[in-house]
Structures are given as C-alpha cells and as structure tokens.
Structure 1
C-alpha cells in the first residue's frame, strides 16, 4: 500500500494529559474518488497531510491508526506512534496496549468495493495461520460506517422469499444450478433453518462455478437487461457492475444482498460474516485494528470462495441500519453491541456551542470534517485549536474523571474514536 503521507505529530505537553495534532496517511485505491471530488483528499489537503491534489489521481481512504499497513509516525521523535506509546504508557489507559485497538477512516467511494465479509476472532486466527499473505493479522474486523453524503451499498442477505423471486426473474442464473439445486429455490423463505440451508446450497453452487461458464451466464444476463427499454433500479445496477467486471460472479451479488442508501448521519454496523460492498459516496468508518477481508467478487484481488461460502451468515438481514445513542449535550454515540475495541462519538454544532468528550480514561482521536474549535480540559494549561482536516490525539486522563471539552469557534463537525474502558461500557449500558 502506497501512502501520500506518513504520520506527523506536533505535541503540547500538559500536566496529566497530552494533545497531539496528527498528519494521517492517505491511499489511492482504484475505487476512490478522483481529485477534488474526493472528500478524503479535500480533508487531507485542508489539514496539511498532503501538499496538493492531483486531478488525475484517486484518493480513497484517509487513515487514522497504528495498523501495520499504515502505521502512524511521530516525526519529532523519528519513531512510530506505537513506539511512542510503548515508551510512554501515560498516553493510554491502564488496559490499553501500545497499539490502538481501532482503525478510523474517511472513505470517498466512486466505484464498487469488492463483495466481502470479515471473520470472527477465532476465524481470523485460523486464516492468518494458514495464509498470512492474504490474511495479514489474526484479528476480527467488525466495522461501523456512518454516511457523510448519500451513501449507496449492498449489505446482508435479502429476505429469502425475495431472493427466490429474483432467481426466477433473472432466470439465466439458474443455468449455473443443477436440477437438485433448482428445487431449493422454492425452499427459500420457508420457516426454520431450512431456508438458510437452501440459500447456502444455491449461493455456494453459483460462487463455485467454473469461470468460463460463469462468464457466459453473466454476459447473457447483462445483455438482456441492457437491451430492455425500461429497467428497474436492480436491472441498472447489474448492468453497471457487468460493465466494470465482465464475467465476474460479483455481478450477481445485488440479486442476493440488500441494496439501499444511507442518508448523511445514518449508519450501518457490519458484523462478522455479513456480506457487503460499498458502491458510492462518502463515509467515516471505524473498525477493529485489522485488514482481514474475505473477498467474493468485483475485484482483481485474491478471492477465497471456499472460506467465503463456509463462513457466510445466510440469515435474512433486512436493512441493517444502526441507530446511535444521543447524549445529554446532543452529540451522538455509536456503541455497537458486543464490540469493546471502539466507540465513535459524533460532535456537531454551531459557533459558541460547548460539548463534552466523555470516557476520558481511554485515549482517543478526533477527526475534524469542518469548522474549528478549541479543545481543553481541567488538566490542560491552555486549549488546543483544531480546524477542518486536522486530527487530534487526546491521551488518556490519569488525574481524575474530568472530561475534555470542545468549545466551537466556527460551525463544527467531527468524529471521535476511542476504545471504551470496561467501566465506561458498564456505566453506559447500565
């Protein structure tokens, strides 16, 4: 992975709490938005993370974290953030390690990402031990995506009865099934586990199809739909994907997966083994510190069909939208159930507003999307001013339970990511 910048830190030492401005890495995946159409690029430029925006280059992801594929570095010390934390444990909470347990990103998506799932912790360990090249760490990768603009995606299996209808409507796909497999189409939508078992049989057969036969069927379906005078939204999506990835099994993904749009501020939580693919738009994303991805199509990268079909959750998902919690000061807190690696707080307000940054016993990172503000706490000697595109690292507080505070000097929008302590989880859930 090539980054335009590596991670710079300008520090201000205070009595018990440290504030650092961070310069974050940006990558250039092909699916990213090009030039100034990329929010990730605009933020990177505004925060002096990059020196200019190349109109012919894609800017896909703006990273904040200590993952090995994009490690933060402390320029002043000539060492990584991980090393700095290891040498100064006061930066993080008592139960935190030298690595951040989360990875925070701003994504600008112009073309489809691969159809993919992420493993559980147990599965991540097995995959990494068997194939460390394609699975670079042994962790799981639950993630939450929060839309910044209208954000289009595929996520989770549709209602099984609807998949049954679509397999009949797009009947070309049945050419990839055996006679016994076709019988299972009518079992989709039945009660109990039989429906999920039927879906696994059908899905596995299609995804295991020979490439030559698969290519013929994809082309046949895409050509028929392209020739129709009136097309549904699903027809249009299948034709679009086939134009980008001719002959790719991922072209069939919209037949099986929920296709929907998140409006700005709406979110989705992607559990382990939930199939998904981002299609278009800008979002912030927070996940456990992992890069383990099992791909199922729409990509030139490694596709692991056998792991995919065995690990997928074949249950109906409906629309997997996540509803955040609203705190007393009207900031939003995203606390995915069962996840202790990260929480995300959205801070948004007008000039003069003041907000708390709770759960200060853990270190956190604050990424500013617009506006400016001063960050301070009872432990600071003076506030730290932050503005659009800047990222602030706030170390854990060890001198009490005082919460850092934000005072907005210009209409402000930012996201804070942190690892909740066990007491924070307990107090919040109770």
Structure 2
C-alpha cells in the first residue's frame, strides 16, 4: 500500500486526566474499532486525544509497516505536492512534516485556561524554555463539534464584564478599585478595539490572574456557597452552572473566575470555532475534531495542575473583546460535492472537510494540491481512485496524497461520516 497515494495510517492515543473514561471516549471507540496495533482498552483510563500527523510527540505510522508517516513523506515528497513542500520549507518546516496536526478530543473535565503563542513568541519561548515549550511553531487551532460541546473562548464584550463587576461582589473584590474605575469608564464609552479598551482589559485580567491566593480562595468559597444556597442573581444566571462545574473539578482555582470574563459557548455537532494566537480559551466538555498548526505549545494560567506561566500568558494575549460569534467558522460549499462542507479558517496551514454521505450514495472530491489526513467517524464504505479501491470503516485513518482525486462510497445501513484535514499552497 505504501507506494500508493492513498493508504491507511496508524494514529496515536494520549491519556490525559481530562479525557473521557474507557469506551465513553470517542478516542477509545475509534482506536478499538480500527484495532490500532498495541492498543489495549482500559475501561478505567481517560482517553483524551487521538493524534493524526507527523508531530514527534505522537507520530503516525504507516499501517503494516515499520516507518513513520514523516519518514515516508520525506522519501516521497510528491505526496506532499511541490507547492506545499516549497512554501512550508521556506517557513522552516522539517522535511516530511505536515504543516498541520489533526486530532480527536474527548473532554470530560475542563482543559486549562490557556492561549497559544504566535510564531515569533513561540521561537523565543522555545529558546528560553525548551523543556516547557518544545517546538518553535505557533498553534492556531479550530475545534469542530462531533457531539454537543462547550467552551470558553475569547474575552466577553467589555459591557458584559462590567455588568459582572457591578453585580458579583466576590469577583469585584479581587480587582483593585483604581483598575475597576478605569475599566467601568472605558466599558461605557471606549471603542472596544481602541488601545484604551485593550489596556483596561489587560489591567483587569492581569489583576485577576495575580490576585492574592488567600483572597481569591476565600472569594470563590463565598461565591460557591451563595450559588449553592440561593442561586445567582439575574446578571449571573448564565455563569452559575459553569462556575459550579469548574469549581467541582478544580476547587479553589483562580481560573473559575474566568467565567466572568470569557465567552461561554454551547455548540451543536457541525459547529466550529477558530482560535488564533493570543486568544484565551478553555474547552469544557464534549467531543471534537481539532486541527492546528503542527505544534504542542500551550501557555497556561488556570484550571490545571501543570505549569502556570501567567507572565507570558498576560503579555501574549491580543485583548480583543466581543461576542463569541467572531470566533465561529461557518461551513461553505466544497466544489460541487453535495455531501461535503468546507471549514476554512483564515490561516494557510489547514482547512477541514466534513463529509456525511447517506447509505448507498457517493461523493467525488476533486484533486487537492496538497496532502490530506482523513478519519472515518461513522459507518463504512470505500475510497476509489485511479482504478484502485480501499475499504474503510469507523476508526480508520487515511492519508491522501497531493493531486489525488477520490470517490467516496457509503455502504451499510447508516451514513458514512469522514473528517478530512488538508493543506494547499494557494
């Protein structure tokens, strides 16, 4: 199979404590369905991520061959496509490495309050702390919901944060009066994109994340006690359940107060958000397809037992504020394919296709000028190209080489669902 432009690859699984347990996790479901070599299900273990790509922390391998995908692509650069190889080699990519990393995430417990550095910052952090920031790449990312999914993403409009400041005494107690006064004045008058608005938001966020530990633990305890005893007031109603959920998972953590400054989104399958460098976020619950530039760089500040790098997080945020809709990625048509939706965030490293083919029907994808990785998340069927055919089923992960048009066929009783990440140089 390895000499062909379409072949199966073996992903890697990651067990983090925030993952869903056993077969409740789609990561474990796909790994078990595809009979990944070496995978042995532990019904008590958290299966958090399935990695598909060339990142050295979890490199995919060719099915039935003792070679990594990166090694194979380095030996066969035509599978990447000359335009993609040229463009991303000039950007510093190593030979054989894809510019994107594709994942499945199964989230039971909230991930940390975090951001990802831009390229320049990533290079500096990697040089300064290579044991923490293990590569020099940026990590813009997109999350596409497989099941109902919740997340915190980006700063709320200043007016909404101001409402929480004036209605939630436990939150207000952690912010110095001088910072609160300036913030409330700016929130009522400043253009949210102005330098003034960004400055007061940065000052407020910095004050919150550096609040005295004894003070914020006491305030959080008071807040939780009030919510549990008598509920939230009208202004706080939208965050009450989030605060209680986060505190149950991370008792006494300053990150719980981010419920009052970040957008909280509840998404249905097929909805997607994009998070550029410098955007604060935390995934809370659900199952998603996630695609990102090839990096594992995360700057954390709360809801985590891991290293908290508050100075770099505070300095690296863009401090854009506004409704969560600014993060949403709307699906578009892909060529003339009737059963395929294109999610195309504003970066060059990746786009994602959602393919939902009814039983007995087919879908044609024209050649793409770059490499693809696809995973079957539901059903069974086949891929055909140039007189060749590959039978696929739930959990199978495939590589599709540059310039290869494919025909997708759905068989069985249900639909064939495939998610395909790709890159083009145009």
Q: State the TM-score, normalizing by the size of structure 2.
A: 0.90
Q: CA deviation at 1:420?
A: 1.3
Cα RMSD between the aligned structures? 1.8
2:34 maps to 1:43: no
2:346 maps to 1:358: no
Q: CA deviation at 1:229?
A: 4.5
The alignment covers a number of residue pairs equal to 402
Matches within 5 A, 1:276-355: 276-319=281-324, 320-327=327-334, 328-330=336-338, 331-337=340-346, 339-355=347-363
CA distance in 2, matches of 1:212, 1:141: 34
Matches within 5 A, 1:212-291: 212-229=214-231, 232-291=237-296
2:64 maps to 1:54: no
Classify 1:54/1:416 alpha carbon distance in 2 versus 1 (closer, same or farther; 3 Å).
Answer: same
**Which position in structure 2 is the counterpart of 1:29?**
16
The DSSP-based 3-state class of the residue aligned with 1:79 is coil
CA distance in 2, matches of 1:300, 1:394: 39
More divergent stretch after superposition (215-224 vs 145-154)? 215-224
Given that 1:375 and 1:384 are in contact with CA atoms closer than 8 Å, whether structure 2 keeps it comes out as yes
Deviations 1:4-40 (A, max 9, x none): xxxxxxx2544xxx22211211111111111121111
Q: State the TM-score, normalizing by the size of structure 1.
A: 0.89
The DSSP-based 3-state class of the residue aligned with 1:383 is strand
More divergent stretch after superposition (304-313 vs 234-243)? 234-243
Give the gaps of 5 or more residues in structure 2: 86-94
Q: CA deviation at 1:191?
A: 2.0
Q: CA deviation at 1:99?
A: 0.4
Matches within 5 A, 1:26-425: 26-49=13-36, 51-74=39-62, 76-94=64-82, 95-96=84-85, 97-187=95-185, 188-192=187-191, 193=194, 194-229=196-231, 232-319=237-324, 320-327=327-334, 328-330=336-338, 331-337=340-346, 339-378=347-386, 381-397=387-403, 403-410=405-412, 411-422=415-426
Give the gaps of 5 or more residues in structure 1: 1-10, 423-430
CA distance in 1, matches of 2:198, 2:225: 31
Deviations 1:85-130 (A, max 9, x none): 2222232211324001111011111110001111111111111111
CA distance in 2, matches of 1:272, 1:230: 34
Classify 1:420/1:206 alpha carbon distance in 2 versus 1 (closer, same or farther; 3 Å).
Answer: same
Name segments (4+ residues, structure 1) moved above 4 Å. Answer: none
Q: CA deviation at 1:52?
A: 4.3
Q: CA deviation at 1:77?
A: 4.5
The DSSP-based 3-state class of the residue aligned with 1:283 is strand
Q: CA deviation at 1:377?
A: 1.9
